[in-house]
Chain A
């Protein structure tokens, strides 16, 4: 995943937000479920296929306090992990 990539959350995946702002992501294709924290939820909601990964990072930085320097790498790793498990795709080139 590159900073210029525009990840898109799989429309099949169900986001289940819970009382503590954590959430469960469920992929009905694979029956995989992943729990994620509030930052991950924010990232998930920004993955609309139109927003570059670098912009997602910026928006997250502006939305949370005490953001560590490592947040770009952390978000990239998170998105990559979701991508490897079929939760996230990329906008097709030329679109």
Chain B
């Protein structure tokens, strides 16, 4: 028996500035892969020498100004973070400042030497993206021949220094039939966990949605539930399905599945151009750029920026539509403010997934405020295809 307990809402005193927990460092404007679903859309750069990268000076200034604000970790992402020409120097700074290290990589450049450098950080988390159980599928998604074996080799190089990465698999029509096999492959590769991502309709991901190359929301909900209820109990891996809290089983949330919450109260992005931004969305939406490293004090940006202050005051209470009526909104915060703003140019816009689920009659009634369900819609006979 488990003793009584569960999942409390995370009520927050949102208006005051919070600790800046993590800086998301988008180290490169280019990427050595050309993934069909990328929500940032970096320019393809096979050699890593054509497009700007975050300077070491800006990286260090942002960290040093972040520590008095509570900074405890950095996430290195891109583009592709391992393309940064002074990657090892960045790792040295992170170690010197005793920060938690998170790396999101496609693995192509994760040599034994780089893996050993990463392993010098004692508090680290690495994720490697693999989007198919075979080269043809993964490379269809990622756009570059040979990248499948490189990603698998990255996993082996990390294992050699006792790093068990999370594998991230983004679900598309092309690979959705490989979900079960992917669990087995992740087990064989010695991953610590496997996370299934949903394609976000931003940048290249938006094209994927328009071209009907992503599963319909109903299919994704079914898949998420199957992952939680059928696949997760059968594997030693931690499995995460990245759909909104409204669809997650309560017991998965209670056991620590915090995926799909917007981290906006504790994170800030640093773009390769040296600008502060809400997160990587600043690459796509210029009004979500908040200042420049070195020219603008991070404390001023974090404490005074109008959009950040507005979000602290308004989330989750001002969320609109289905998100405003959802019982999970205190935990979820609209799932992804950046995505919502990209789609509607409105900070309080509801999350696309939940909107589509509600329109299709698939939003869980138990997660809605009583009496707030939309009037039953007239069936068109096309619900199964609704996305």
**Are A and B part of the same complex?**
yes
Task: Say whether B254 contacts A35, CB under 8 Å.
Answer: yes
B140 to chain A, nearest CB (A): 35
A9 to chain B, nearest CB (A): 13
Task: Say whether B251 contacts A22, CB under 8 Å.
Answer: yes
Instruction: Report the separation of the CA atoms of residues A35 and B254 in the bound assembly, to the nearest whole angstrom.
Output: 8
A37: chain B residues within 8 A (beta carbon): 2, 4-6, 250-251, 254
Task: Say whether B4 contacts A20, CB under 8 Å.
Answer: no
Task: Say whether A28 contacts B369, CB under 8 Å.
Answer: yes
> A-B pairs with CB below 8 Å: how many?
87
B328: chain A residues within 8 A (beta carbon): 33
B375 at the interface (CB under 8 A from A): no
Instruction: Report the separation of the CA atoms of residues A4 and B254 in the bound assembly, to the nearest whole angstrom.
Output: 30
A68 at the interface (CB under 8 A from B): yes
- Residues facing B in A28-81 (CB within 8 A) are 28, 31-40, 42-43, 64-68, 70-71, 74-75, 78
- Please judge, given known A-B contacts A22-B250, A26-B370, A28-B370, whether A39 and B9 are in contact too, CB under 8 Å: no
Chain A residue nearest to B371 (CB atoms) is: A28
B384 at the interface (CB under 8 A from A): no
A70: chain B residues within 8 A (beta carbon): 3
B8 at the interface (CB under 8 A from A): yes
B3: chain A residues within 8 A (beta carbon): 39, 68, 70-71, 74-75, 78
Instruction: Report the separation of the CA atoms of residues A70 and B1 in the bound assembly, to the nearest whole angstrom.
Output: 11
Task: Say whether B1 contacts A36, CB under 8 Å.
Answer: no
B274 to chain A, nearest CB (A): 42
Task: Say whether B5 contacts A32, CB under 8 Å.
Answer: no
Task: Say whether A40 contacts B369, CB under 8 Å.
Answer: no
A17 to chain B, nearest CB (A): 8
B367 at the interface (CB under 8 A from A): yes
Number of interface residues of B (CB under 8 A): 25
Instruction: Report the separation of the CA atoms of residues A26 and B8 in the bound assembly, to the nearest whole angstrom.
Output: 11
Task: Say whether A35 contacts B7, CB under 8 Å.
Answer: yes
A26: chain B residues within 8 A (beta carbon): 327, 369-370
Task: Say whether A35 contacts B6, CB under 8 Å.
Answer: yes
A24 at the interface (CB under 8 A from B): yes
* Cβ-neighbour of A36 out of B6, B327, B369, B370 (below 8 A): B6
- Please judge, given known A-B contacts A20-B249, A22-B251, whether A34 and B7 are in contact too, CB under 8 Å: yes
B366 at the interface (CB under 8 A from A): yes
* Cβ-neighbour of B4 out of A18, A32, A75 (below 8 A): A75
Can you list, as one digit per residue, whether each of B318-356 has a CB less than 8 Å from chain A (1) or not (0)? Answer: 000000000110100000000000000000000000000
Task: Say whether B6 contacts A40, CB under 8 Å.
Answer: yes
- Please judge, given known A-B contacts A24-B367, A31-B369, whether A66 and B253 are in contact too, CB under 8 Å: no
Chain B residue nearest to A40 (CB atoms) is: B4
A43: chain B residues within 8 A (beta carbon): 4
Greatest chain A CB density within 10 A among B7, B250, B367 is at: B250
Instruction: Report the separation of the CA atoms of residues A71 and B7 in the bound assembly, to the nearest whole angstrom.
Output: 18
- Residues facing A in B225-252 (CB within 8 A) are 229, 249-251
B377 at the interface (CB under 8 A from A): no
Chain A residue nearest to B370 (CB atoms) is: A14
B96 at the interface (CB under 8 A from A): no
B295 at the interface (CB under 8 A from A): no
Instruction: Report the separation of the CA atoms of residues A19 and B7 in the bound assembly, to the nearest whole angstrom.
Output: 16
B251 to chain A, nearest CB (A): 6
* Cβ-neighbour of A33 out of B251, B327, B365 (below 8 A): B327
B330: chain A residues within 8 A (beta carbon): 33
- Please judge, given known A-B contacts A16-B366, A20-B249, whether A39 and B7 are in contact too, CB under 8 Å: no
Chain B residue nearest to A35 (CB atoms) is: B7
A15 to chain B, nearest CB (A): 10
Instruction: Report the separation of the CA atoms of residues A40 and B4 in the bound assembly, to the nearest whole angstrom.
Output: 4
> Can you list 5 A-B contacts with CB-CB less than 8 angstroms, sorted by A residue number?
A35-B6, A36-B4, A36-B5, A36-B250, A37-B251
The 6 A-B residue pairs with the shortest CB-CB distance in the complex, in nearest-first order: A35-B7, A74-B3, A40-B4, A36-B6, A16-B366, A64-B1
Interface residues of B (CB under 8 A from A): 1-9, 11, 229, 249-251, 253-254, 327-328, 330, 364-367, 369-370
Interface residues of A (CB under 8 A from B): 14, 16-20, 22-24, 26, 28, 31-40, 42-43, 64-68, 70-71, 74-75, 78
Using A18-B250, A20-B249 as known contacts, list a sample of 19 further A-B pairs with CB atoms less than 8 Å apart, ordered by residue number in A.
Answer: A18-B364, A20-B250, A23-B366, A24-B366, A26-B369, A28-B370, A31-B369, A32-B11, A34-B8, A34-B9, A35-B7, A35-B8, A35-B250, A36-B5, A37-B2, A37-B5, A39-B3, A43-B4, A74-B3
